[in-house]
Amino acid sequence: MAGPGPGGYPFSVLLELLAAFALAAPKDSGPEAYPRETVADIDAYMPLHCREDVRAAFVKIWSACRRGRDTRECAFRIDRAPLASGGEDVAIVFMGEDDVRDDSEAFRRNVQVVTGKTLAIVHTHPSLSGPGMGPKDDRVPVAVNYVIAGFDGGLWVWDRDLGEPRNALRTGTKWKDACSEYDIESQRRKLRALRDRNASR
């Protein structure tokens, strides 16, 4: 996991988060915002990559790495965020601009995963790595790993629970646009199937 390279895993898991902060504070935004593990009403569920705040964070790290032209890999994580009302939303946590390094190894060491709290990680791949994900992108300590591939290589995901090994979610730079109802319902169908499988065990 430590070595850089095309398709490589872009950061290491550390004991402490260095210079991270929340992009947006959690809000009481209804059941569609809840992490999928706690969703009661799947018909109202909004996939993480379709949320407006998550898509804004996609653009932020893509721009920080010069839209795939940089050899660095930029990243953030998506955490559970309990609400005062008793529900749950998500919080986006990523590196501060002052902590970006030209050295990719130093860059990756500034992100950690919090066990039991982190839902997903998101990172960029340089254009020179080519489109898609590599084998090391499967070996992550969370259920979901998103990759924004280069300048226009699309949005990819490895999803352990939903059975999506290195799946292309959106082509080109369409990940910046709002998801279609078809995209959202496709994810809901997979979530229903996951729920049914878990119930039959």
Degrees to nearest 5, angle at CA 72 with 67 and 78:
80
Which domain does 187 fall in, by range? 20-199
Whether residue 132 lies inside any domain: the answer is yes
Pick the closest to residue 55 from 170, 196, 185, 194 (CA basis).
Answer: 170
Whether residue 4 lies inside any domain: the answer is no
Q: pLDDT tens across 84-124, in order?
A: 887 788 898 875 444 444 444 444 445 678 888 889 999 88
Q: pLDDT tens across 44-75, in order?
A: 888 999 999 999 999 988 988 888 888 878 88
Whether residue 94 lies inside any domain: the answer is yes
**pTM, 2 dp:** 0.73
DSSP 24: S
Whether residue 171 lies inside any domain: the answer is yes
Whole-Å CA distances, 4 to 55, 69, 106, 126, 147: 26, 16, 11, 11, 15
Whether residue 141 lies inside any domain: the answer is yes
Helix or strand run (H / E) with residue 194: helix 181-199
- pLDDT of res. 7: 38
